[in-house]
Amino acid sequence: MGFKLILYNFFIGLIVSVLVVVLYHFCMKGDKIGYIRTGEVLRSFSGLKLAQKQFESEYKIAKSNADTLLGRVERIKGNALLKQRSPREWTERVAKAESELAVYSKSAESQIQARQQQLSKEAVDKVNLFIEDYGKAHRYKLILGSTESGNILYGDVGDDITKEVLEGLNAKYPQF
Class of domain 31-172: alpha beta
The pTM of this model reads 0.63
- Give 103-138 pLDDT, tens digit per residue: 999 999 999 999 988 988 888 888 889 999 999 998
Q: Of 43, 37, 45, 36, whose CA–CA distance to 173 is shortest?
A: 45
- Give 1-45 pLDDT, tens digit per residue: 555 556 556 656 656 666 666 666 655 555 788 888 888 888 888
